[in-house]
Amino acid sequence: MKGLLELIPQDWLEEVINLAAECTVVVDRNGIILYLNHAYCKFLDVEAEEAIGKPVQDVIENSRMQIVAKSGKAEVASIHPINGSEMIANRYPLYVKGELVGAVGTVMFRNPREWLDYSRKLQPLMDELNYYKKKYEKEFLSKYDFGDLAGESEKFKEAKELAKRVSDSHSAVLLLGESGTGKELFAHAIHQLSSRRNFPFIRLNCASIPETLFESEVFGYEEGSFTGARKGGKMGKFEAANGGTIFLDEIGDLPLQLQSKLLRVLQEREIERVGGKGPVQIDVRVLSATHQNLEKMVAEGTFRQDLYYRLNVIKIEIPSLRQRADDIGPLSRILLKKMEGKLNRYGLRISEEVLGILQTYHWPGNIRELENVVERAVNVTDGSTIYPEHLPLYLWSGKSPVTFREVQYNELPVEGKILPLKEAVRNAEVQAIKNALKAAGGNKMKAAKLLGMGKSSFYDKCSQYSINSL
Ligand SMILES: Nc1ncnc2c1ncn2[C@@H]1O[C@H](COP(=O)(O)OP(=O)(O)OP(=O)(O)O)[C@@H](O)[C@H]1O
């Protein structure tokens, strides 16, 4: 077989080398220069005839070509000081028929200026690339894993274990739980632990999607399929999720007429773009979530039974924060750490009184609400400790924490001796005032606030019970 270069005339070759890598040098195994191209001669200010046959280090200052020709190890993009400036050079060992015969050196940039000009041209492209990378990560990749799901209570751990166990299955998962319990976090974590993790995670909010846009959003459309259709068409959510996971959030809020369209995709596992030429096969894992009671909706005829069965292959019920009161303390501390980072306020702690209040509140908004409360507290706390007055008023104003809980009489232990009611009330008031003063570090205004009392009634009570200080 003919050599690959045989068709190129000999006198073309040098020009080809000059164009391919401006400054080029070739040495034999002993580091003797066999070839120095025109551009390199010009850069070094030497004649080729003078240089050829000489040891490379005698012609090129600080050269390492003789080392590469012996070691057989390439040196790529190394800084090479020459002629008072630092150029960037590549040195490659030259193997012919498997044998090390010498080395080839090229100069990528003859000085840092060249490199700067080059990187200036490259920078906008890199910025653009990073922008799309971030956009892709934000829109198409899952952001959380099971490590982000904090909680040690039994019910929560059971839900987490089940979710882990079914992560890699292909079956549909229905996540049930009140608003703010972490259903979306679970969906991310399930995808992250599955073998689909390197494929997209696409969220479709079924509550916010207008009926008129459902088809184009969910199935996509072809260019020119309707007035206003985007040039090049648009990929729908199912197509975008292909190979990965689609998370149908707030599925209980999907209008009945759209439920049948969704059911068709789930049954047939194919979609057809609006104005498309035919169906496209899709391979997506379906996760869905709702705070609604789907069984009740099915019974009332507002949710399709067949769709319910499709989605509810594996049901995971996420407990409300009320049902995992033991987790409130640890979760508050975790959320505090998160907020410290977000708001750049470090070294904060939550006081015992605040923990008491948080533990007895009923948390209708669950972890999302707790997160908001902690964020607010971090914002309004001046010192390093979060006290009750840093919580929103509805959490503590005018009430003792115990009134938040539905205490059953038979749950209350009988303690101490039975006193006449007036005396018991007096003792309780004295104790409550002393506790509040202690919690407020002796500050009467703060103590009054903690007790949910006006300043003057607090002072009246203090003088009635002769309490002057702690
Ligand atoms: N176990 C947890 N550990 C730490 N943070 C959590 C946990 N669960 C939820 N969160 C946080 O609480 C907030 C609400 O979570 P998420 O959006 O997943 O709830 P949701 O149940 O999907 O709510 P909705 O039903 O309103 O959509 C998020 O900011 C999330 O980071």
Rounded to two decimals, the ipTM of the complex is 0.98
How many Cβ atoms are within 10 Å of 123's Cβ, its own excluded? 10
Both structure tokens of 406: 């539905």
Q: Are 455 and 401 within one domain?
A: no
Tell me the C-alpha distance between 243 and 126, whole Å: 28
Tell me the C-alpha distance between 144 and 212, whole Å: 32
Assigned domain for 4 exists: no
Q: How far is CA 463 from CA 70, 236, 423, 456, 458, in A?
A: 96, 72, 17, 11, 9
CATH (domain of 257): 3.40.50.300
E strands, 331-402, are 349-350, 385-386
Burial label, 197 (beta-carbon count in 10 A; 0-12, 13-18, 19+): middle
Measure the CA dihedral 414/420/423/426, to 10°.
60
Cβ atoms 205, 256 nearer than 8 A = no
Closest CA to 91 of 15, 25, 17: 25
Atom of ligand 1 nearest to the CA of 249: 27
Which protein residue's CA is at the shortest distance from atom 26 of ligand 1? Answer: 179
Cβ atoms 186, 175 nearer than 8 A = yes
| Number of independent structural domains in the chain | 4
CA of 189 from ligand 1 middle (Å) equals 12
Q: Are 310 and 332 within one domain?
A: no
CATH (domain of 421): 1.10.10.60
Q: Are 375 and 429 within one domain?
A: no
Tell me the C-alpha distance between 469 and 467, whole Å: 6
Q: Are 341 and 308 within one domain?
A: no
Tell me the C-alpha distance between 277 and 467, whole Å: 85
Assigned domain for 79 exists: yes
CA of 371 from ligand 1 middle (Å) equals 9
DSSP letter for 261, please.
Answer: H
CATH (domain of 96): 3.30.450.20
Choosing from 91, 109, 127, the residue where a domain stops is: 109
Q: Are 167 and 88 within one domain?
A: no
Atom of ligand 1 nearest to the CA of 187: 18
Both structure tokens of 458: 């607090």
Q: Are 207 and 98 within one domain?
A: no
Q: Are 307 and 448 within one domain?
A: no
Q: Are 182 and 305 within one domain?
A: yes
* Ligand 1 close to Cβ of residue 194 (< 6 A): no
* Ligand 1 close to Cβ of residue 252 (< 6 A): no
Residue 286: domain span:
146-317
* Ligand 1 close to Cβ of residue 188 (< 6 A): no
Assigned domain for 118 exists: no
pLDDT at position 226 = 74
DSSP letter for 198, please.
Answer: T
CA of 365 from ligand 1 middle (Å) equals 10
Tell me the C-alpha distance between 65 and 77, whole Å: 14
CA of 191 from ligand 1 middle (Å) equals 16
3-state secondary structure of 65: helix
Assigned domain for 37 exists: yes
pLDDT at position 400 = 45
pLDDT at position 111 = 65
Full pLDDT tens readout for the chain, 470 residues: 456 778 888 878 877 877 776 789 999 999 999 999 988 898 888 999 999 999 999 999 889 999 999 999 999 888 877 766 677 889 999 999 899 999 999 987 766 677 677 767 777 887 888 888 888 777 777 889 999 999 999 999 999 999 999 999 999 999 999 999 999 999 999 999 999 999 999 999 999 888 888 888 899 988 877 777 777 788 899 999 999 999 999 999 999 989 999 999 999 999 988 888 888 899 999 999 999 999 999 999 999 999 999 999 999 999 999 999 999 999 999 999 999 999 999 999 999 999 999 998 999 999 999 999 999 999 998 889 999 889 988 887 655 444 433 333 344 455 566 777 777 788 888 888 888 888 888 888 888 888 888 888 888 888 888 887 65
Q: Are 172 and 294 within one domain?
A: yes
Tell me the C-alpha distance between 138 and 202, whole Å: 10
Tell me the C-alpha distance between 194 and 169, whole Å: 8
Strands 285-290 and 245-249: parallel
CA of 181 from ligand 1 middle (Å) equals 5
- Which stretch of DSSP H or E encloses residue 44? helix 38-44
**N-terminal to C-terminal alpha carbon distance within the chain:** 102
pLDDT at position 407 = 38
Assigned domain for 115 exists: no
* Ligand 1 close to Cβ of residue 181 (< 6 A): yes
CA of 235 from ligand 1 middle (Å) equals 28
Q: How many CA atoms lie within 13 A of 365 on its CB side?
A: 7
